[in-house]
A and B are shown apart, each in its own frame.
Chain A
Amino acid sequence: MSKRERRQSKILDGCLDSILTGEVTVGESLREFPGDVQELTPLLTLALETRESLEPDYPKPSFVAASIRRILSRISARQQQSRRPRAGIRPSWRWKPAQVFISLMLAIGILAISTGVVQAANASLPGDALYGLKRGLERARLAVSWSASGDMRLLAEFASTRLAELEALLAANRLGDLDLALDGFEDALFGLTGLAGGAATGLDPGSTEFILERLAHHQEVLARVREQVPEQAQPAIDHAMERSLHSQEVIQLLHMGGDPSDLAPGQTRTPPGLELTPPGQERTPPGQARKGTPTPTPTPTPEPPIPTPTEEPTIHVKDIDAYITGGRSNQQVRVTISIAMGSGGNVDGATVTGSWTVSGSDAQFSCITTGSGKCTIRSGKLPGEDQTTFTITSVTHPAYSYVPADNSDPDGDSNGTVITIELPE
C-alpha cells in the first residue's frame, strides 16, 4: 500500500460521509483537495450512484410487527418446553424378543447404508449435494463435545477441513466455490475465538498446543493457496489470513494467562513474557476462577470509594506496548495503549489518536479504550522497513482531561507518548 493510496483512501472516506448524507456534492467535497479531484471524482460519483441505485429498502412495518410476535411466541414455547418435567415420561411399551431382533436388523441396515453415505459426505466439497450432511455431522460432533476445550479443538479441526476443501476446490478449478470454503473457515475461527473468551477459566496445555499448531498450519496453507488463486481472489485469502492471525493472538494471549476480552477484533497482542496481571490486581472476570488459581472466598462487596471533590479528573497514558507480527515481507506492528486516571483506575471510552512515522506517513489512527483501559492500533504492513515510531498525538474523553505530562511506561520501552520499534533484519 503506497502512501498516496493511503492518503487518497482517507480523503475518499471523509468525502463519502458528507456526500452520502447529502450535505455536499461531489465537487464541493473535493474542494480542499484539488490535486485529487481528477482521480477521486469518478469514484465518488460511482459511490453515489451505487447508493442511489442499490440502497436496500427498509423492512415493511407489517413484517416487523408480525416477525417479532412470531419470534417471541417461539421463544416462549421453547422456554415452556424446556421447563416441562421429563420425569413423567414413561415408555408405554415393553421390549419383546421379536421386536429386539427386527430393531437390531434395522439398525444394522441403517448403519451399513449410513456409513457409506457418511463416507461419501466426508469426501464432499462445498457445492456438492452431500456437503450439507458433512457440515451437519460436524455440528453433531460439536453438540456432543463436553467441554469448551473440546469444542475449540473441533473448531480448529473443522477450520483445517475447510482449508483442505479450499485446496481441493482449487485443484478441481472450482473457483466459484472457494468463497464457501473460506466462509466456513472464517466461521469456524469466529466460533473458536468466541469460545476462547468463555474458556478463560482454563484451556488445557494440550488443547492450546493443538490449536496453535492448527492455526500455524492454516497460515501455511493460506499462503500457499494465495500463490495459486487468481488476483481477484487474493483479498479474500488475505482476509482469512487476518482472521487466522487474530485467532492465534487470542489463543496465545489466553495461553499466557491474559484475558481475550482485552482484544479488539484483529487488533492486539500482548508481548510474550509480559506480566498480564498487575501485582495485586485480579483480572479474572467476576464469577470465574482461572484454572490453577484458588477460588477466593466470597467476601461482602465493599462500598465503592466516594471520590473526593478535590480529585482532579485527569487521564494519562499508563503504558504502551508494541509487538511485531508477520515475516519480513508482511510485518506489522501493533501498539497497545493503556489509559489510566490520575488515581490509577482504568479508563473506558477514551479515544486515543496517534501517527506512525513510516516512510514519512502522516496518517492519524485512532482507537477507543475498553473496560480494561486498553486499545490497540495497527501499523498496517511494513515490508522492508527497519524501524517505525508511533506517537500519541491526543487522548480525548467526554469526562476527563488528558495530561500528557503524566504519561509513563513502566517497561521503559517508551516515554509514554512515543515508542520506537526496531524491525527485524
Chain B
Amino acid sequence: MFESQNVAHADAELISRAQAGENEAFGELYERYVALIYRYVLARVDAESDAEDITEVVFLRTFKALHRYIERGRPFSAFLYQVARNALVDHYRQQRKTESIEAAEKLPSLAPDPDESLIAKERAVVLRRALAELPADYQEVIRLRIMLALPTTIVGEWLGRSEGAVRVLLHRALKTLRRQLVGSI
C-alpha cells in the first residue's frame, strides 16, 4: 500500500471527489485504510469493541474535517493517524472517568484458542506490560514499526520525524524494552 506514488495520486483523487460531495469516494478511502487504522487503534486499546468504536469515530471525524484537508506531500494515512491519536486521547480521558485502574489494566485475551500455550499467552502479557512502561514515543515506534510492520518511511511521515530519527528511536526503544524485560525476570 505504501511504496507506490500511484497510491498517493489515487488517494488525492478520492479525497478530491469526496470533498466534492461524492460519498462513494469516501467509502473507497475507508476501505483502503480501515484495517490499518483499526489495527493501530487495537494495538493501543486492547478491547476489540473499543477499537471498532474508535475506528468508526476516526472515519466520521475525518469526513467532517475533509473539507479542510489540503494535500501537502504527506500521505493521507498520516492525517488519519493524527485523527486516530486525537480520538484515542479522548477515549483515554473518558475511560479514566468510568473505569478503575484494575479494569484499565485488564489484559485482552490474546490467545482465544484453548490449545494455544499458556506460556505464549503469559509471555505476551509480560511483553505488553514491559511495553507499557516505556516512554510514549518508544511505545509508539514499536507499535508502528514492529507490531504493525509499517515501513520506516511511513512511520517517519506519521511521527513527523526523518527516517534516520525513526531508526535510532526504534533501536533505543528495543534496547530499553529488552532492559525492562531482563529487569522483570
Chain A residues at the B interface, C-beta cutoff of 8 Å: 1, 5-6, 8-10, 12-13, 16-17, 20-21, 42-43, 46-47, 49-51, 53-59, 63-64, 67-68, 70-72, 74-76, 79, 127, 129, 131-132, 179-180, 182-184, 187, 190, 194, 197-198, 232-236, 239, 242-243, 246, 260-261, 263-267, 349, 363, 365-366, 370-371, 377-378, 380
CB distance from A221 to the nearest CB of B (A): 18
Once the chains bind, are B59 and A71 in contact (CB under 8 Å)? yes
B50 within 8 A of A: no
Question: Contact partner of B63 among A75, A129, A194, A370, CB < 8 A?
Answer: A75
CB-CB under 8 A from A180, the residues of chain B are 89, 92-93
CB distance from A379 to the nearest CB of B (A): 9
Once the chains bind, are B146 and A12 in contact (CB under 8 Å)? no
Question: Contact partner of B93 among A63, A132, A380, CB < 8 A?
Answer: A132
CB-CB under 8 A from B48, the residues of chain A are 57
CB-CB under 8 A from B181, the residues of chain A are 46
Once the chains bind, are A53 and B123 in contact (CB under 8 Å)? yes
Interchain CA distance A362-B43 in the complex, whole Å: 36
CB-CB under 8 A from B31, the residues of chain A are 64, 68
Known: A54-B128, A54-B147, A378-B162. A12 touches B170 (CB 8 A): yes
Q: 4 new A-B pairs (CB below 8 Å) besides A54-B127, A54-B147? A: A5-B168, A21-B149, A74-B60, A129-B97
Once the chains bind, are B55 and A16 in contact (CB under 8 Å)? no
Interchain CA distance A104-B70 in the complex, whole Å: 45
Please, could you name 21 A-B residue pairs with CB atoms under 8 Å apart, sorted by A? Answer: A6-B167, A12-B167, A12-B170, A13-B152, A42-B178, A43-B171, A46-B181, A49-B123, A53-B120, A67-B34, A68-B31, A71-B26, A71-B56, A71-B59, A75-B60, A79-B23, A197-B72, A236-B135, A242-B160, A266-B160, A267-B162
Question: Contact partner of B164 among A6, A79, A129, A239, CB < 8 A?
Answer: A6
CB distance from A290 to the nearest CB of B (A): 16
Question: Contact partner of B5 among A46, A349, A365, CB < 8 A?
Answer: A349
Interchain CA distance A371-B93 in the complex, whole Å: 40
Interchain CA distance A53-B120 in the complex, whole Å: 7
CB-CB under 8 A from B145, the residues of chain A are 16
* B27, B72, B78, B175 pick with most chain A CB within 10 angstroms: B72
CB-CB under 8 A from B168, the residues of chain A are 1, 5-6, 9
The interface on chain B, measured as residues whose beta carbon lies within 8 A of the other chain's beta carbons, has a size of 76
B1 within 8 A of A: no
CB distance from B105 to the nearest CB of A (A): 13
Question: Contact partner of B161 among A72, A232, A266, CB < 8 A?
Answer: A266
Interchain CA distance A5-B174 in the complex, whole Å: 13
**B46-80 interface mask toward A, CB cutoff 8 Å, 1 = contact, 0 = none?**
00100110011001100100001010111000100
Once the chains bind, are B74 and A264 in contact (CB under 8 Å)? yes
Interchain CA distance A58-B147 in the complex, whole Å: 12
Once the chains bind, are B178 and A46 in contact (CB under 8 Å)? yes
Q: Which residue of B lies closest to A240 (CB)?
A: B137
CB-CB under 8 A from A380, the residues of chain B are 162, 164-165
B15 within 8 A of A: no
Known: A47-B146, A58-B39. A70 touches B56 (CB 8 A): yes
Once the chains bind, are B171 and A12 in contact (CB under 8 Å)? yes
Q: Which residue of B lies closest to A44 (CB)?
A: B174
Once the chains bind, are B43 and A56 in contact (CB under 8 Å)? yes
| 9 tightest A-B CB contacts, nearest first | A370-B73, A9-B167, A9-B171, A53-B124, A56-B42, A59-B38, A56-B39, A265-B160, A13-B167
Once the chains bind, are A363 and B164 in contact (CB under 8 Å)? yes
Question: Contact partner of B177 among A46, A56, A232, A260, CB < 8 A?
Answer: A46
Question: Contact partner of B110 among A53, A71, A378, CB < 8 A?
Answer: A53
CB-CB under 8 A from A371, the residues of chain B are 73
Known: A1-B168, A75-B63, A183-B85. A242 touches B161 (CB 8 A): yes
Q: Which residue of A lies closest to B63 (CB)?
A: A75
Question: Contact partner of A235 among B39, B42, B138, CB < 8 A?
Answer: B138
CB-CB under 8 A from A71, the residues of chain B are 26, 30, 56, 59-60, 63
CB distance from B97 to the nearest CB of A (A): 7
Known: A12-B167, A53-B124, A59-B35. A263 touches B72 (CB 8 A): yes
Once the chains bind, are A58 and B38 in contact (CB under 8 Å)? yes
Once the chains bind, are A79 and B171 in contact (CB under 8 Å)? no
Question: Contact partner of B135 among A56, A72, A233, A370, CB < 8 A?
Answer: A233
